[in-house]
Amino acid sequence: MQAVSERTDGQLIAIDGKVLRSSYNRDECQSAIHMVSDFAAVNGVVLGQFKTDAKSNEITAIPELLNALDLKGCLVSVDAMGCQTEIATTIINKGGDYLLAVKGNQHKLHDAIKSKLKQ
Has residue 4 been placed in a domain? no
Is residue 75 assigned to a domain?
Answer: yes
CA–CA–CA angle 46, 97, 79 (5° rounding)? 60
Q: Are 83 and 16 in contact (CB under 8 A)?
A: no
The answer to whether position 2 is within a domain reads no
The structure's pTM equals 0.75
Q: How far apart are CA 71 and CA 63, in angstroms?
A: 12
Cα 60 from Cα 57, distance rounded (Å): 5
Range of the domain at 92: 12-118
DSSP 82-118: G--HHHHHHHHHTT-EEEE---TTSHHHHHHHHHHHH
Contact (CB, 8 A) for 41 and 13: yes
Residue 5 lies in a domain: no
Domains identified in the chain, total number: 1
Q: What is the pLDDT of residue 119?
A: 78
One digit per residue, pLDDT tens: the chain, 119 residues? 455 555 556 688 999 888 777 766 667 666 777 888 888 888 788 888 888 876 568 888 899 889 988 888 999 999 888 888 899 999 999 999 999 888 888 888 888 888 988 87
The CATH number assigned to the domain holding 106 equals: 3.30.420
